[in-house]
Chains A and B, each alone.
Chain A
Amino acid sequence: METLRYEIDADRILTITFDAPGAAVNTMTVEWQRDLAAAAAQAVADKEKIRGVVLASAKETFFAGAALRHVLTLEEKDAVPGFHEIQALTKSYRTLETLGRPVVALLTGSALGGGWEVAMIGHARFALDDARIRFGMPEVTLGMIPGATGITKTVRTLGLMGAQPYLLEGKLFGPREALDLGLVDGLGDSVEALRKLALDWIAAHPDATQPWDRKDYRMPGGGPTNPKIAAGLAIPICSSSAHQRCCG
């Protein structure tokens, strides 16, 4: 595992630290995808030895997202292998979030696009209270969509209406706005303070699950057949607005 460190401490906390060698930022390279799959499998094997998982970054940003240079080379013939690649990647995410141990992301820097999707593996997120930090999914501004759980998780967290600005406009947000939206669970002034928040949260939520894995989960604001949403033509407005923004 070259692109991340996998460490279990005396306190039985597994910390997975993203630290791509020789790069200024972490990106979703093929090597990182392979490493994350290995880390997820190892976490399953180590389950009885750990009581929580912390996702962290050794870079100034948390995670920068897709390896854009690679993405720009993709052609139609890459669709099928690309699909299987993303399925394998999201399976790694799913393995971690359904491990049966609380998972917390420590957002010590910006997390954009695929990077924000990595942050959303966590059952909880804590962020540095620094206005320069940016979160969100700007994919749509590049003619793409968040393909690795970003759409489904954002809709399930914010609801069909609430998710629109972040998915259809690629609107970014800082730690304070993320806190208001409920997308992060707390802010800290230092890396140490964040870690303490994370450890306290793990101790308080030994049975953490994602909201959509709970029996009582309901989509905020209702699903697409909810009369309020259906009658307001909210769904076609979504697609027509996206059509207008990206000129078809």
Chain B
Amino acid sequence: MPHAMIFDAVRTPRGKGKKDGSLHEIKPVDLLAGLLVKLQKRHGFDPAALDDVVMGVVSPVGEQGSVIAKTAALKAGWDVKVAGVQVNRFCASGLEAVNLAAQKVASGWEDLVVAGGVESMSRVPIGSDGGAWSQDPATNFQIGFVPQGIGADLIATLAGWGRDDVDRYALASQQRAAAAQGAGHFDRSVIAVDDEIGIAVLEKDEFIKPRTTLEGLGQLKVAFAELGAMGFDAVALARYPQVERIEHVHTAGNSSGIVDGAAAVLVGSEAMGKSLGLTPRARVVATALSGADPTIMLTGPMPATRKVLAKAGLTIDDIDLFEVNEAFAAVPMCFMREFGVPHEKVNVNGGAIAMGHPLGATGAMLVGTLLDELERRKLKRGLVTLCVGGGMGIATVIERV
């Protein structure tokens, strides 16, 4: 079985996902096509060697609809033979794309794939695609749907974490991201976004708030108490009778930020890399998917991590660094507690609380962040995991070569 090698993992900076965000003026197709062009220029490979472009998009409608992966490949001027597919596994879409690419290559049926994702949340807002999961009363009544933030609050309640605990986690994310950006840790993989005439529109992540304080975080209004009071708390409590009520602790400050961004990871076989003069940086060791209770929704990383470790024949101690998507502070906190992993190994350069979570792209961005940091620290193995809508979890183990 050929190994799935990672030759590079790049991303755009993350722009504030509002109308005054720097990337709001860039259409999603151009955000992605611009990144593909720059990835190709950086390595000089012939795009005709690519079998597929696999891109995660969580709201694949409107400007992000109609298989944006193929459209962007065409807009990038790539050979017409290069195919494209858009995938959606909610917040895991970007990592799902990387995993699919790895599986294509490892199966020997494809040799070179670009995987990643794009989400312009300022232009195609979250939820734009509707769906029975959240929009059909009969369905969400039956499956116990509640908004994710309520699940995050429930995780905190079950663990006994108060507002101060989750805010402390958020503060660390901000401090780590600001320090990493200041030290240039993101410079290798973040590629500026240019407009049509070549003016750089955004060169660095703009969502990080280096002046964040615990006091400031403490003053933010909790985000999900009202939704909870409308009935969602009752739905969740029916499944978790061990708690009397849900303590609402998550705010805009300790949850992932709404941003625009795109990511691209070049995955291929060793043989194809050799023929194109590409040097592998890492290989994908194993991938895994799982599901967990859909109501609490955000505990999927735990079974997915166990599954991927088992598949790889590794234990949690074999992993040097972790990227656990900071959908809400309680998610990585829960992961650390469950596996007994110290914060020193998890999200060492901050995460989505500080930098934002461009839904379809985040998973692929985390692969790049993890790989850069493994190289910087000369460590070997890393694990990426995300919580996913519907209670799913996803995990990937990579290893430097």
Partners in one complex: yes
Min distance, Cβ A164 to any Cβ of chain B, angstroms? 20
Min distance, Cβ A160 to any Cβ of chain B, angstroms? 14
Min distance, Cβ B39 to any Cβ of chain A, angstroms? 24
**For the complex, is A83 an interface residue (Cβ under 8 Å from B)?**
yes
A79 touches B62 (CB 8 A): no
**Which B residues are in CB contact (< 8 Å) with A83?**
197, 199
**Which A residues are in CB contact (< 8 Å) with B198?**
79-80
Smallest Cβ-Cβ distance to A83: which chain B residue = B197
B61 touches A225 (CB 8 A): yes
Min distance, Cβ A156 to any Cβ of chain B, angstroms? 15
Which applies to chain B's interface (DSSP): helix, strand, loop or mixed?
Answer: loop
Docked CA distance A225–B28 (Å): 15
Which applies to chain A's interface (DSSP): helix, strand, loop or mixed?
Answer: helix
A80 touches B62 (CB 8 A): no
Smallest Cβ-Cβ distance to B128: which chain A residue = A225
Min distance, Cβ B348 to any Cβ of chain A, angstroms? 39
B61 touches A80 (CB 8 A): no
**Which B residues are in CB contact (< 8 Å) with A79?**
197-198
**Which A residues are in CB contact (< 8 Å) with B61?**
225
Min distance, Cβ A14 to any Cβ of chain B, angstroms? 29
List the count of A-B residue pairs having beta carbons below 8 Å apart: 11
Q: Which of B56-104 contact A (CB under 8 A)?
A: 61-63
Q: Which of A216-240 contact B (CB under 8 A)?
A: 224-225
Q: Which of B22-72 contact A (CB under 8 A)?
A: 61-63
Docked CA distance A79–B199 (Å): 10
Min distance, Cβ A155 to any Cβ of chain B, angstroms? 16
Docked CA distance A83–B194 (Å): 13
Min distance, Cβ B20 to any Cβ of chain A, angstroms? 14
Smallest Cβ-Cβ distance to A82: which chain B residue = B197
How would residues 70 to 84 of chain A score, 1 for a CB under 8 Å from any chain B CB and 0 otherwise?
Answer: 000000000110010
Docked CA distance A80–B196 (Å): 10
Min distance, Cβ B124 to any Cβ of chain A, angstroms? 9
Min distance, Cβ A140 to any Cβ of chain B, angstroms? 18
**Which A residues are in CB contact (< 8 Å) with B62?**
224-225
**Which B residues are in CB contact (< 8 Å) with A225?**
61-63
Smallest Cβ-Cβ distance to B124: which chain A residue = A225
Smallest Cβ-Cβ distance to A230: which chain B residue = B62
Docked CA distance A225–B130 (Å): 14
Docked CA distance A83–B201 (Å): 13
Docked CA distance A83–B62 (Å): 28
Min distance, Cβ A214 to any Cβ of chain B, angstroms? 15
Docked CA distance A176–B61 (Å): 41
**Which A residues are in CB contact (< 8 Å) with B63?**
225
Docked CA distance A109–B199 (Å): 38
Min distance, Cβ A145 to any Cβ of chain B, angstroms? 13
**Which A residues are in CB contact (< 8 Å) with B197?**
79-80, 83
Docked CA distance A224–B64 (Å): 13
Q: Which of B188-207 contact A (CB under 8 A)?
A: 197-199
Min distance, Cβ A76 to any Cβ of chain B, angstroms? 9
Docked CA distance A103–B265 (Å): 52
Min distance, Cβ A238 to any Cβ of chain B, angstroms? 16
**Which B residues are in CB contact (< 8 Å) with A224?**
62
Min distance, Cβ A141 to any Cβ of chain B, angstroms? 23
Docked CA distance A79–B198 (Å): 9
Min distance, Cβ B223 to any Cβ of chain A, angstroms? 23
Docked CA distance A79–B196 (Å): 10
Docked CA distance A83–B198 (Å): 11
Smallest Cβ-Cβ distance to A225: which chain B residue = B62
Docked CA distance A80–B63 (Å): 27
Docked CA distance A225–B62 (Å): 6
Min distance, Cβ B18 to any Cβ of chain A, angstroms? 16
Smallest Cβ-Cβ distance to B199: which chain A residue = A80
Smallest Cβ-Cβ distance to B195: which chain A residue = A83
**Which B residues are in CB contact (< 8 Å) with A80?**
197-199
Min distance, Cβ B121 to any Cβ of chain A, angstroms? 16
The chain A residues found within 8 Å of chain B, CB to CB, are: 79-80, 83, 224-225
Q: List, sorted by A's number, 11 A–B pairs whose CB atoms are closer than 8 Å.
A: A79-B197, A79-B198, A80-B197, A80-B198, A80-B199, A83-B197, A83-B199, A224-B62, A225-B61, A225-B62, A225-B63
The chain B residues found within 8 Å of chain A, CB to CB, are: 61-63, 197-199
User: What 10 pairs between A and B have smallest CB-CB spacing?
Assistant: A79-B197, A225-B62, A83-B197, A80-B199, A80-B197, A83-B199, A80-B198, A225-B61, A79-B198, A224-B62
- Could you list 9 further interchain pairs (A-B, Cβ under 8 angstroms) beyond the known A79-B198, A225-B61? A79-B197, A80-B197, A80-B198, A80-B199, A83-B197, A83-B199, A224-B62, A225-B62, A225-B63
